[in-house]
Chains A and B, each alone.
Chain A
Amino acid sequence: MKQIFLLVAALAITTPSLAQMGIEQPPHPPPPGQRGSANMAVMSHIPLGAAGTISDIEIEQELSRPYAYVARRNGVIGFDVIDLSDPDHAKVIHRWRIENAELHTGGAMDGRYFKHDGRYYYVQSMQLGQSGPNSEVGAVVFDVTDLPSSMSEVGRVRQSDSPGGFHNIFMYSHTSGSPLLFATSAGYAKVFDMGLFVDGDQNEMDPVLRDDNRELIARIPVHQTEGMWSRGYHDFMVQYHPETGQDRFYGGGGSGYYVYNVTDLANPDLLATMVGVPGVAWGHTFTPTPDGNFAIGETEFQYQPLRIFDLRPALNGELPDKNIDHAVGAWHADWKSIAHNHEVRWPYVFVSGYQTGLGVFNMVDPENPYTVAYYDTFNGIHNDRGAAMERMGSPYTWQVYDGAWGVDVRNADGLIVVSDMTTGFWAFKMEGFDRWNGTDWGMPNVSSAQNWEGMLE
C-alpha cells in the first residue's frame, strides 16, 4: 500500500494538470438535481429547529456507539443527541436544554466526547451571556455511557475569574495517559484533566479545597507579537507526532497560527508560527496532516480560502524566527464565500463551508488541492443583503456566516456528519471512502479521533 501511495504522490507532484482533475461545485443556486456531487450520498437529514440555532457537531467513533451530538444556541441552549444505529434513518433521541432557558443568552458551541475508566462522557462547551446565570460556565459534562436510554449531567467546568465560557474545546488523549480538555479561555488554551473532573472528590478534604481550578493543569499561551488581532485562541487541535514522540498543539488565533510542543504541559515549547501571512490577520481553525508536515488554516473573513502551510521549514530549524510567512496551497469551494471548520483524513479534507455546505478536497499535492465531492446543505440566499439590512441596518455586512458550521468523520466506516446552522443535521457517505486509517495511506493513524485506550500506533 505504501508503494501505491508513493506512486500516487509522485504522479500528483509531477503532473501539472492534476489541479484540473478536480470537480467544481456549481455556483449558487445549483441547478435542480445538482445540489451534491454524484459521489456524495445523503444518508439522513433532520431539520432541528429555527435558523441560526445550530452550531457544532461531534460523532462518537465506535460503531457500537452510534451517536452524534449537535450543539444548539440562540434560545434553545443545549444539544441534541442523534441516534445513527440506522444511518438511513437517523433520529433525535435526546434534547438537553439548559435550565431556566429564559434567563440565559448565548449558546452551546463546540462538543467533544471522551472515554475514561470504561465510561463515556460528552463535554459541551458553553458561551453564556454575562447578563444571566452561568456566565462562568465553560462546559457542561455528561455521562453518556447509558445511551440510548439515558444520560446524566456530571458537572460544569467553571472559570469564575474569566467568565465568558469556552468558544472551542478539544478533547485529547495525551501521552501522559490523561484525557485532557483544551479550552479557549482568557487568552490561553486552558488545559483541564477530565479524569480528575469526572472522578470527583477523592477524600474528605477535596470538597473543602475544591475550586474552579482544581482540574486546570496548564495554560498554553499565544505567542505574543505587536499589534495582534486578538490575544487569545479561537480554535485548536492537539495531535500526537510519532516521529518525535511529542504531543503537538496547533492553535489558530492571535495574528495567525501557532504550533507548540505540549508533551510537558508545564513548559509548552513554541515550534512554529504563521504570522504576517498576506490576507491572514487572524487565525480561526488550524488542523495538521497526520505526519505534522502540513496544516490547513482558516481565517474567518469573506473571500479567504483555506490555506495549506508547509510546516517543515520552521520545524526543521531552517527559519531562525520559526515563522512561516506564506502558504503553499489554497482551496475554495466558492471564492465569494468562506469555509468554516474542517477535518483532515489525509489525503482528504472534509470542510463545513458555511453557505457552500459540505466540501471535500484532496491535498495529496498540497500545492494543488482539488475538490473531490460536495453537497450543498445550505440552500438559502447567499450573501443576503436584505437580511443584512434587516439585521444591521446596512447592506454592507458579511452575510456569509450561515450554513454548514461543523463537520465530523467516523473513521470506522467513513460516515460524515454535518451540522448546518439553518438546515440542521446531515449524514453522508462519500463513494470509495469506507473507512479511514492513516496507516492505509502511509501516514500515522492520528486525526481528531482519539484512541482513548492510549495505544499509539
Chain B
Amino acid sequence: MDLVGHLPLGGMQSPASPSAGFEALGRGTGHLALDQEPGRPFVFVAREDAEGSEVVAISINDPSHPLTLGSWRPQSHSIGDLTLFSHGSRHYLAVTHADGLSVREVSDPKEGQFDAAADVPREPGYHHVFAYRHSNGRSYLLATGGGDIDVYDVDRLLSSQTDPVASYVLPETVTNVDYGYHAVTAQWHADTESDRLYAAGAGGYYVFDVTDPSNPSLLTEVNSAAVQIGHAVSASPDGTHLVTAAGYRTAPIRIFDLRPTFEGAVPRIRVAAGAWTADWRNLSENHELRWPFVFAASMDDGLQVFNMMNPFEPYTVGFYDTWDGPRASLANERTHRNGAWDVDVRNHDGLVAVTDVNTGLWLIRMEGFEGWDGRGWGFANVSTVQDWDNGPTQSERW
C-alpha cells in the first residue's frame, strides 16, 4: 500500500452528539464520493464541526496534494451519505441528511459550485443514497433511512417533481425490530439481463429484481442468525455472492453464496460461506467490492483489503492504518465512531479514497491494482460505478 495523499479535515463533532467520544481528537469526517470520470479529479467529503455539517469539494488533480475547493452547508446538522451521478452533460451530488435528500449540481467544483438542483423533504430524513443507471435508460436515486426504500427518478427530480416513483417495503415485518432498510445498492445482472437491487435492513439482506422499477420482485433473502439488522451489502459482479456488514462490533464481514436459493435448493440463505475481519473486536463500516478484492473501511483498523476469490477463505492482501489513536471500547458507546468510515475506489486508475472519522481524507494506491474493469476478470463490468452514458446492458462487451 502506498500513501499518495492525506488531507486532515478535523474539526470537533458537535458536543451534543452521542458519538462525540474523544472530543479533543477532532472527529468530523464522514462519507465520501469519488468522481469516477478521468477528467474530473474530485472527491466530495462530508464533515462535521461545531458549526454543523457540510460537504467539502476537494481537488485531487495532484493526488499528493489534495486541495479544498469549496463547501456546501445544508440547514440540517446531520449529513449522511453522498453519491455522484451524471445527467446529460451535467454532474450532480446527492446528499442525505436529517431533513431528507438534497441534490446539488457540481459540474464545476473548481468554482465552488454547489447549485441547488432538488430538495426532497422527508421526515425523519434519509441515511443512505445510491445512484443507479437502470437498463431502461433512466437513472434513479435509491434512498433509505430506516424505513422503505424510496426510488426517485432523476429526470423527475431535476424537474422539481420530488415524490418517489416507487417505495419498496420489507417483504415481511420483522418482529421485535422496529426498522426497515438501512442501505441499498443496485447492479445489472448480465446472466438474466435484469436489474437487481441488494438491500440491507431488518432481518438481514434482500435481493429484488427491479427490472420493472414499479414492480419489484423478491428473488431471495439472507437471514443469518446474529444479524438483526443488515447494515451494508454488495454483490459480486455475477450476482452469485453477497458481501455484507452487520454494523456492530465483533461482527465480521460475511460472504453469502446465493446460488442454492437461485437453484431452488433452499428458500433462503442462513449460513455464510465465509467471513473476514481485520480484528474480531472491531467492525467494518462500509466497503467497496471490486472482485476479487473488497476494500473495507474498517474503523479502528483503517483501510483493509481482502481477496474473496475463494469465498470460503477470504484473506487480507493489504491495509493502511488511518487511525493510530485509542481503540474503541465495547463498554463506551461514545468511543465507537472511530477510524476509517467510508471508502471508494476509482475504477479507471485504481485510486482508493478513504475517510477516517478522526483523521480526514486519505488517498492510497495498492500495488498491482491499477484500475478495475470487471471484464478483465471474466465478469460484466459492473460495480457501484455506473456508466451514465451507455447504461449497464453492454457491460459485458469490450
Task: List chain A positions with a Cβ less than 8 A from chain B.
Answer: 16, 225-228, 255, 276, 278-282, 299, 301-305, 310, 326-330, 332, 335-336, 366-367, 385, 394-398
Contacts and interface: CB of A to CB of B under 8 A. Distances in A.
B269 to A, nearest CB: 7
Contacts of B226: 279-281, 299, 301, 303-304
A392 to B, nearest CB: 10
B265 A329 contact: no
B247 interface: yes
B281 interface: yes
Contacts of B330: 326-330, 367
A30 to B, nearest CB: 18
Interface in B4-27: none
A281 B273 contact: no
A396 B277 contact: no
A310 B248 CA distance: 18
Contact of A330 (B177, B225, B265, B281): B281
Contacts of A301: 225-226
B160 to A, nearest CB: 41
Interface stretch (B53-61, B90-98, B187-195, B250-258): B250-258
A335 to B, nearest CB: 3
B228 interface: yes
B225 A281 contact: yes
Contacts, number: 85
B331 A310 contact: yes
Q: Is the interface of A mostly helix, strand, loop or mixed?
A: loop
A396 B256 CA distance: 9
A327 B273 CA distance: 27
A280 B226 CA distance: 6
Contacts of A280: 226
Contacts of B252: 303, 335
A226 B176 contact: yes
B174 interface: yes
Interface in B308-343: 312, 326, 329-331, 333
B301 to A, nearest CB: 13
A394 B312 contact: no
A332 B280 contact: yes
Contacts of B176: 225-228, 255, 276
29 contacts: A227-B174, A278-B228, A278-B251, A279-B227, A279-B228, A279-B246, A279-B248, A281-B225, A281-B226, A281-B228, A302-B271, A303-B254, A304-B226, A327-B330, A328-B329, A328-B330, A329-B330, A329-B331, A330-B249, A335-B277, A335-B280, A336-B275, A366-B331, A367-B329, A367-B331, A396-B257, A396-B260, A396-B271, A398-B271
A366 B250 CA distance: 16
B89 interface: no
B175 interface: yes
Contact of B250 (A225, A302, A304, A367): A304
Given A227-B177, A367-B331, 8 more contacts: A227-B174, A276-B228, A278-B247, A301-B225, A328-B331, A330-B250, A396-B273, A398-B271
Nearest to A329: B330
B251 A279 contact: yes
B333 A326 contact: yes
